[in-house]
Chains A and B, each alone.
Chain A
Amino acid sequence: MFNNKKFLSILLAAVFAVLVLAGCNSEVGNASNDSANNEETDSSSNEGEVVELELFSTKTENPETYQRLVDKFEAENPNIKVEVVSQPDSLTVLKTRLTKNDLPDIIATGGNPTFGELGRAGVLKDFTDSPLVDDINEGFLYQVKDIVSYDEENVYGIPYAGNAVGVLYNKAKFKELGLEIPTTWDEFIEVADKIEAAGEVPFYHTWKDAWTITVPWNDLVINIAGDDFAQSKTEGEATFIDRYSEVADKMLTLRDYSHNDVFGKSYADGNQAFANGESVMYLQGNFAVPAIKEFNPDIELGMFTLPALNDADENMFVASVDVLFTMPKDAEHPEETMKFIEFMYEEENATQYMEEQFAISAMNNVTYIDPIMEPLKDKLAEGKIRQAPTHYYPAGFPAAQSIQEFLIDGDKDAFLKKMDKDWDAAVAN
């Protein structure tokens, strides 16, 4: 019995060893492949030491585009290697790394509260005097300062690309059903009614993922709740009960024009379903376009402003800083890092990014806009854009989760009260 056991433990160890060897061998295989790939670049720069930079991206949609640009950059700069890192829950990871004093060399993030917190923590480089900043759209520049603090003068991150949040629609289906782009709320609902009457699904909601709820929410809020809400609320001069009642009603209206498992489907499911024509419209940002096209490259897409109000001229849409580049104040390789950032802002490279990512450029000298977003152009030129209001919500205020709960149970009064209470609690702590 005892020997038997011993035998088995040896067997187990042997199985493991074989598996590990298999793993190591293929590791070696990979490594040699890698070095083969890099040989040409390496051989040209034998003299200089290779600097390795980490490009930490908090977006999951664009690593391939980054990789293509990085490859180009590495070809031009053989002594710099850039590793693109993009992982889930990346904002949390970024915060964790702030906690550990281990910030990445290059940070590519959006104008979100985490960026604001990094800015306030004083760990980021001040780009105020950088020539790159001169070419940036004023509206986007204002956003990156504002997110750090109301009266911030310094620029801690350079806006790169903006996103637009509105209504994606299937052009073929619109034509088939004889629909026009709606410009007022009433027309919008009329369109939805017609779609339902034709036996199709107006919107494909993916509200299992709470963040996707904030997409239409933000478009409604900027038009209805007022620009000054966050500040007024914190100063005690505004409440959710006063300002958000209509927003809540309209969210409930939108909820009911969808498929029957609104809270059971995820963002990934939605991209696929909309791509396959399971709904006519899709309340999403332009950042969803690449994923949709991946499922159906032939889909004809368009995007228009979610008309939250009945005054067509007044309607605005949410366009936030989707990507900004920044780096730590105490960067390990400041020159190389800056070189990479400057490379990204070169017109040719920036245009490539905007094209591939269907993004709105934050640079005045890069004017490319994708035909999909053509209907947004006028509003954009008129400056009828606002930053996502959720970006102004205090940290620790669980907005998306609360809205999700409200849309499930439909109790508006309790919801608005809870929002007021949670906000006050988050500000107090």
Chain B
Amino acid sequence: MNIKKTNWPITILLCIGALTIIFPLYLTFVIAVKTPVEMAQSIWAFPKVFHFENFIKAIEMTNFFNAFKNSAIVTIFSVVLTVLTNSMVAYAIARNMHLRFFKFLYYYFVSALFIPFPILMLPLVKQMSSWGLDNVVGLIFLYVVFGLAFNVFLYVGYIKSIPKELEEAAIMDGASTWKIFWKVIFPLLSPMNATIAILTCLKAWNDFLLPLIILVDKDDATLPLVQYVFQSEFSANYNLAFASYLMALLPMIIVYLFAQKWIIGGLTRGAVK
């Protein structure tokens, strides 16, 4: 067939649509670098001078780096532990679906997809505090657990598509199940690991409800929680608030700018499989 020409009407429509995505972020930026007086003149005009002192003040007021550290710790550990534990159990399930125990386990996990969080929210809050887990560590456990249902569903589907011949060859060579998992299966799972790592990362980094109800100590607060506190205490000074919001959004945006292709690719691959 002929080489198609660029479809300009669609290009233009999509560009206009993209503006609705860019505009709120643009607004966040310009408000964050203005003073209240400049904002009174015009909300959306691009400022002549950047008032970066808003950021310095917001960093002080929210103890930004502490919250950043908490969010980073929660996210990194949740991702690593999720990928390790979930892929392992999924492998065991996928290769033993013919046994009643594993089949039961599969449905047991996946059925949690239908359980709304509020039903366990109240007892969970009590339980976490009485077990001394109303902190960052507890939060990590919860992200590992609450992702399990969906992750096992994805992993099992993916592992089933991996031919057993590879493992059989390894068994012939006398490799143990552990070794097969680590040396053969886990590397083959890389695309799915990436998908699940990205999903877990986004969930743990951006979540608000769990930190809100689980965390007690102010020093444990994650970035979204800190924004919530900040918003209600100093809501009148929008410039400071927006500087604070921008800083909370920025780490993820930076990671996204660098790894955008990989992130979208990872999620797409997860969906197709």
Contacts of A99 on B, CB cut-off 8 Å?
A: 125-126
Known: A60-B232, A99-B126. A20 touches B69 (CB 8 A): yes
**Contact call A30/B231, Cβ cutoff below 8 A:** no
Contacts of A131 on B, CB cut-off 8 Å?
A: none
**Contact call B129/A23, Cβ cutoff below 8 A:** no
Nearest-neighbor residue (CB-CB) of B70 within chain A: A23
Nearest-neighbor residue (CB-CB) of B231 within chain A: A88
Nearest-neighbor residue (CB-CB) of B216 within chain A: A102
Query: What is the predominant secondary structure among interface residues of chain A facing chain B?
Result: helix
**Contact call A30/B251, Cβ cutoff below 8 A:** no
**Contact call A88/B130, Cβ cutoff below 8 A:** no
The contact size tier of chain A is 35 or more
Q: Once the chains are docked, how many angstroms separate the CA of A83 from the CA of B217?
A: 11
Residues 132-180 of B at the A interface (beta carbon under 8 Å): 134
The contact size tier of chain B is 20 to 34
Q: Once the chains are docked, how many angstroms separate the CA of A266 from the CA of B190?
A: 49
Q: Once the chains are docked, how many angstroms separate the CA of A96 from the CA of B254?
A: 36
**Contact call B129/A16, Cβ cutoff below 8 A:** no
Contacts of A271 on B, CB cut-off 8 Å?
A: 236
> Taking the complex as formed, is B68 at the interface, i.e. its CB lies under 8 A from any CB of chain A?
yes
Question: Which of A12, A30, A96, A268 meets B66, CB within 8 Å?
Answer: A30
**Contact call B254/A15, Cβ cutoff below 8 A:** yes
Q: Once the chains are docked, how many angstroms separate the CA of A380 from the CA of B173?
A: 92
Known: A20-B69, A26-B65. A88 touches B228 (CB 8 A): yes
Most chain B beta-carbon neighbours within 10 Å: one of A15, A22, A100, A291: A100
Q: Once the chains are docked, how many angstroms separate the CA of A101 from the CA of B134?
A: 12
Residues 157-210 of B at the A interface (beta carbon under 8 Å): 190-191, 194, 197
Q: Once the chains are docked, how many angstroms separate the CA of A133 from the CA of B216?
A: 31
Nearest-neighbor residue (CB-CB) of B235 within chain A: A268
Closest approach, in angstroms, between the C-beta of A391 and any C-beta of chain B?
Answer: 22
**Contact call A295/B236, Cβ cutoff below 8 A:** yes
Known: A27-B69, A99-B126. A60 touches B262 (CB 8 A): no
Residues 90-140 of B at the A interface (beta carbon under 8 Å): 125-126, 129-130, 134
Closest approach, in angstroms, between the C-beta of B236 and any C-beta of chain A?
Answer: 4
Residues of A bordering B, CB below 8 Å: 2, 5-6, 8-9, 11-12, 15-16, 19-20, 22-24, 26-27, 30, 60, 63, 83, 85-89, 96-97, 99-102, 266, 268-269, 271-272, 291, 294-295
Q: List 28 A-B contacts (CB under 8 A).
A: A8-B262, A12-B259, A12-B262, A16-B76, A19-B251, A20-B76, A22-B65, A23-B68, A23-B69, A27-B69, A30-B65, A30-B66, A87-B232, A88-B229, A88-B231, A88-B232, A89-B232, A97-B216, A99-B125, A99-B126, A100-B129, A100-B134, A102-B216, A266-B235, A268-B235, A269-B236, A272-B236, A291-B236
Q: Which 7 A-B pairs have the closest CB atoms?
A: A88-B232, A100-B129, A268-B236, A26-B65, A23-B69, A268-B235, A8-B262
Apart from A5-B190, A23-B72, A30-B65: 16 A-B pairs, beta carbons within 8 A:
A5-B191, A8-B259, A8-B262, A11-B259, A15-B254, A15-B255, A19-B251, A20-B76, A30-B66, A87-B232, A88-B231, A88-B232, A100-B126, A100-B129, A101-B130, A266-B235
